Structure 1
Amino acid sequence: MAVTLTPPVLGAVVQPRPAPDVVRPRPAPDVVQPRPAPGAAGRRDRFVDGVRALATLGIVAVHWLMPEATWDGQTLGIGNALGHGSAWTITWVLQVLPLLFFAAGASAAYQHTRLPGIGWGRVLGARLRCVARPVGAFAVAWAAAVGALLVSGVPDGAVWRLATMAPQLLWFLGVWVVLVALTPALLRAWRRWRWGALGVAVAAPLLVDLLRFGAGIDALGWANVILVWAVPFLAGAAYADAGTGRARRTAPAPARRLALGATAVLAFAALCALVVLGPYPPSLIGMPGDAISNLAPPTAPVVAQSVMQVAVVLLAREAITRWATGRGRRVVDTLARRAMTVYLWHLTAMFAVVAGVMLGLHERLPEPWSTDWWSTRPVWFGAFALALWGLVRVFGRFESRRGRSLRA
C-alpha cells in the first residue's frame, strides 16, 4: 500500500492513509490571515458608526434645548431659548452637522470602493430609494396631522407655523444627495491632489463669503449650501480612502497627533476671529433678530467649525471606536438602523410634548435659562425621548433594511 504523509499540524499525529490522486496542501499553521480593513466588505467601521451616532444625538439635543413658545388661544409665538445671553456658546459644541457630513462622506467612499464594478448612478438610485420610504411616510403623516388639526379647530396660523417648521430638516437630505452624487469626482480629486484638494475645498466657501459680503453679491452666498458641507464630506471620504483595503495603525503617530491638535486649535482661533472681526453673529445656528444666519446659507465660521470638529474626532478616534464597540454599542447599533427616523421625527416629538403641555394642560413654558428652566430640563428631555421612542416604533419600519448594507 502506498502511503502519503501530509505536513503535520502542530500537536497532530501523522496517520497513514490511502493515497489520493492529488495531494491536497494544507495551509501552514503559522500563516496569519490579514485582518480586513474597516469599511471592507462585511466589516463596518465602528469609528464612523460612532461619529454618526454622536452627531445624531448632538443634533437632537441642540434642537430639544430650543423650545420657547407662547400661546394666547389664537396666536402661537415661537422664539429660541438659545438666543438668550451667552447660550450661543452651546451651538459651538452641539451644532454637529459637520460630523454628520463627515460620516456621510466616509460611508459613500467606502461604498464606492467596495462596488467598483457597479455604476455610481445605480448606487445613488438605490440610496435614494432607501430614504424615499421614511421621507414619504413623514410627509404623509404630517399632511394628515395638518388636516386633523385644522378640522379640530386649531387656528390656521398656528397650524401652518408648525407645518412649515417640521419639514425644514429635509434640506440636509437635498445636500446629501448632491454630495453623494459627487463622490466619484471628490475621490478622484483627493487621490490626485491629496491635501491640495482639501485646501481648495476649504478656500472655495471662504471666497464665496468674501464676494458676498465684500462685493455685496448676496445671492452668491447660497453656493455655500453645497461648498461648506463639501468640506467635512470630503474629509470623511479622504479618511475612508486612506485606510480602505489595508490595516490602519492602532494609534496615530505623534506627528499626526500634533498636526491634528494644531489644526483644531488654529480652526478654533479662526472661528473666534471671524466672529469678533467679521460680520458674523456668534451663534452657529440662526437666531431670531440676527441680521445674518450662519446656517442659511452656511458661512465661513461653519467652515472653521467643520475643520475643528473633524480634527477633534480624528484625535479621539480610538476613544470613539472603543465607545462604539463597548458601552455605547447598543446606542450606536440602534442609531445605525434608525438614524433617518430619529432625525426626521425628533422635532415632531418635541412639538407634540410642548403642544400637550401648553394646549392640554394650559401651562406656560419656563423662562429660558431661569432656575425653573434648568431644573426641568431632565423632565422635558425625558418626555421628548418618550414621544420620540413611540414615533420610532411606529415609523421605524419605513426605514429600509436594504439601506443598511450601503453604509460604512
Structure 2
Amino acid sequence: MGSSVRELAEKTPAGRDRYIDLLRVASLGTVVIGHWLMAAVTVGDDGRTEVGNLLAVVPDLQILTWVLQIMPVFFFVGGFSHALSYRSLSRKAPERVSVYSAFLRARLQRLLRPTMVFTGVWGAAALLLQLIGEGGALLDVTLRLVAQPLWFIGIYLAMVAFTPPLLRLHERYGWGAFGGLVLAAGAVDAARFAFGVPYVEFLNFAFVWLAVHQLGFLRADGRLRAPSALAGAGLVGAALLVAFGPYPLSMVGMPGERVSNMAPPTFALLCHGMWLVGAVELLRGPATRWLARPRVWRGVVTANGISMTAFLWHLTAMLGVYGMLLALDVRLPEPASMAWWAQVPLRMAAAGVLTGVLVAAFRRFERPGAAGELRLTPGPASGPAAAVGVTLCLFGVLGLSMVGFGGLLEGRTAMLVAVRVTAPVAVGMALAGWLLVERAGRSLSPTPPLPELSGSAGRGGR
C-alpha cells in the first residue's frame, strides 16, 4: 500500500482542499480515542461485567466533550464533499440519466461495503456463539455495544439522501436555508421543553444534523467568511443554554440522564456544532501550510484509506483488550483511580495494535474501484428506486445500532421510531436497500482520486 499511497499523494491536484481530508481523518480519530478513553469497565462481586462512562464517574470531565464531541465536524465535511460531488455529476450527466441514483451509489459504495462486512462478521460470530452456548461476562456486553457506532452511519446516509433538495435550497437562499433549519431546531426544543409536546424531539435528528451539513454547502461556495463570529455565537449560545436551560453540560449522552444533548439532538448541540465548525475554520490557514509537506500529506492519504474500517472495528478492539485482561485475571482498577489512570496508556496502546490487526484484515473492502474516468450513460429513470433503497439502508443500519447482535435466536427487539425491529430484520433492510441503490445507479463507474470515506473533497469554492 505504501507505493500506491505515495503515487496518489504525488498526483494530488493543486487545487484540492487538503484541509477537508485532514478534518475527516481527525474527526473519526478523535471519536476512536474518546471511546477508548471514556470506557470504564468494571466487574462486580457477582462477576457481572459492566461498561460505564468515565464522564459519569467524574462529572467535572464532561466539559471535555465541548472539544471531543467532534462528530459535527465530520457532518460539516460531508456537506462540503456532497455538494461538490453532486454538482460534478450534474455537469457530466447526459439526458435521461438519474443523477440522484448515480450520486447515491457513488457516495454509498465506500461507506456500505465495509459496514456490511462488519455486520456479516459480527452477525455470524454472534450466531455461532449463541449456538454453542457461549455467553456471560464481557461477551454479552460486547454483542450489544459493538453495533452502537452504526448510528453515525445511519445519520450520514440520511444526509446523503437529502443532499439534492437541500443543495437546491442552499443555492436559492444561501444562509437563509441554514437559518431556516436553525429556527426549526429551536422550535422543536421549544415545543418539547416549554409545551411538553410528545415525540416532537425526534425531528431534531433531521434539523440539527442537516443544519451542520448545510454549513458544509456554505464552505463549498466559499461563504464561511466570518468563522470567528460563527464560533463565538455557537459557544456563547451553548453556554447560555446549558447555564439557564434544561440542557446538560455533556455533549454526549450520559447514563441515567433525563435529558441528553445527543439522542435526540438538542439546540444546544447545534450551537456546539456551530462553535466547532467556526473553530476548525479558524485553523485552516496554518493547517493548510502544514499539509503542504509531502510526508504529512502522505500520512493523511493513508489514514483516509482506512478510516471507516478503523472506526467500525475500534470498539471490537477495545473490548477485546478488556476481554484478554479478564482472561489473564488482571485486576481492573476502580474507574478514575490512580491505578486506572496508570493503565490507560497501556490499554489504549493495546487497542491501537489490535485495531491495526483488524484494519489489515478488512481494509481491502474500503478500497476504491478500478481506475478510470466517471462514465455516465443514459438509462431508465431510477431515482425513486434509489430513494427507497437509501431509506431501507438508513433504517436498517439505525435499527441494528439499537438492537445489537445479542439474542439473535430469541428475537431480541428494539424500538425504531414506532416499529420494533430485530437484528435479522435490520440487516435484511440494509442489504436490500444497498442492492437497490447499486442496481439503480449502475450507469455510474466511480473512481475516487484519493482514498477517503465519502469521495473526492474537490475544490474549496466555485
Q: TM-score, normalised by structure 1?
A: 0.81
Higher relative contact order (Cα pairs below 8 Å, separated by 6+ residues) = 2
Name the CA shift for 1:225/1:105 in 2 (closer, same or farther; >3 Å): same
What one-letter code is carried by the residue in structure 2 that aligns with 1:82?
L
Q: Does 1:75 align with 2:119?
A: no
Q: Is the 8 A contact 1:51 1:320 kept in 2?
A: no
Deviation at 1:138, TM superposition (A): 0.3
The corresponding residue for 1:35 is none
Deviation at 1:183, TM superposition (A): 1.5
Q: Is the 8 A contact 2:40 2:54 kept in 1?
A: yes
Q: Does 1:215 align with 2:188?
A: no
Q: Is the 8 A contact 2:317 2:351 kept in 1?
A: yes
Deviation at 1:41, TM superposition (A): 8.0
Deviations 1:96-126 (A, max 9, x none): 0000101111111111122223312212023
What one-letter code is carried by the residue in structure 2 that aligns with 1:219?
Y
What is the correspondence of 1:8-407 to structure 2 with a 5 Å cutoff? 44-72=16-44, 74-83=47-56, 84-116=58-90, 117-118=92-93, 119-150=99-130, 154-156=134-136, 158-242=138-222, 256=225, 259-326=226-293, 328-358=296-326, 360-402=327-369, 404-405=448-449, 406-407=455-456
Q: Distance in 1 between matches of 2:337 and 2:213?
A: 38
Q: Is the 8 A contact 1:146 1:159 kept in 2?
A: no
Q: Distance in 2 between matches of 1:131 and 1:157?
A: 32
Partner-residue secondary structure (3-state), 1:86 = helix
Q: Distance in 1 between matches of 2:131 and 2:291?
A: 46
Partner-residue secondary structure (3-state), 1:65 = helix
Deviation at 1:376, TM superposition (A): 2.7
Q: Distance in 2 between matches of 1:42 and 1:126?
A: 23
Q: Distance in 2 between matches of 1:278 and 1:48?
A: 34
Deviations 1:43-68 (A, max 9, x none): 53201101111111111111111221
Deviation at 1:377, TM superposition (A): 2.3
What one-letter code is carried by the residue in structure 2 that aligns with 1:229?
W
The structure number with the bigger radius of gyration is 1
Q: Is the 8 A contact 1:231 1:306 kept in 2?
A: no
Deviation at 1:217, TM superposition (A): 2.0
Deviation at 1:392, TM superposition (A): 0.4
Q: Is the 8 A contact 1:80 1:287 kept in 2?
A: yes
Q: Distance in 2 between matches of 1:367 and 1:325?
A: 45
Q: Is the 8 A contact 1:232 1:307 kept in 2?
A: yes
Name the CA shift for 1:42/1:338 in 2 (closer, same or farther; >3 Å): farther
Q: Is the 8 A contact 1:110 1:240 kept in 2?
A: yes
What one-letter code is carried by the residue in structure 1 that aligns with 2:152?
F
Q: Is the 8 A contact 2:175 2:218 kept in 1?
A: no
Q: Is the 8 A contact 1:66 1:81 kept in 2?
A: yes
Deviation at 1:373, TM superposition (A): 2.8
Q: Once the two structures are aligned, what percentage of the paired residues are identical?
A: 36
Deviations 1:209-249 (A, max 9, x none): 11111121231111111211112211112211338xxxxxx
Deviation at 1:284, TM superposition (A): 0.8
Q: Distance in 2 between matches of 1:372 and 1:329?
A: 38
Partner-residue secondary structure (3-state), 2:148 = helix
Unmatched segments (≥5 aa) in structure 2:
1-11, 94-98, 370-446, 450-454, 458-462
Q: Is the 8 A contact 1:150 1:159 kept in 2?
A: no
Q: Distance in 1 between matches of 2:340 and 2:299?
A: 27
Partner-residue secondary structure (3-state), 1:285 = coil
Deviations 1:295-323 (A, max 9, x none): 11111111011100111111111122233
Deviation at 1:180, TM superposition (A): 1.3
Which deviates more from structure 2 when the two are superposed, residues 309-318 or residues 154-163? 154-163
Deviations 1:131-168 (A, max 9, x none): 22211110111123324544665435753432221111
Q: Is the 8 A contact 2:25 2:304 kept in 1?
A: yes
What one-letter code is carried by the residue in structure 2 that aligns with 1:407?
S
Unmatched segments (≥5 aa) in structure 1:
1-39, 244-251
The number of equivalent residue pairs is: 355
What one-letter code is carried by the residue in structure 2 that aligns with 1:365?
L
Q: Distance in 1 between matches of 2:264 and 2:164?
A: 25
Deviations 1:180-210 (A, max 9, x none): 1221222222221112122112222111111
Q: Distance in 1 between matches of 2:285 and 2:125?
A: 44
What one-letter code is carried by the residue in structure 1 that aligns with 2:448?
R
Q: TM-score, normalised by structure 2?
A: 0.72
Q: Is the 8 A contact 1:133 1:400 kept in 2?
A: no
Name the CA shift for 1:120/1:324 in 2 (closer, same or farther; >3 Å): farther
Name the CA shift for 1:122/1:335 in 2 (closer, same or farther; >3 Å): same
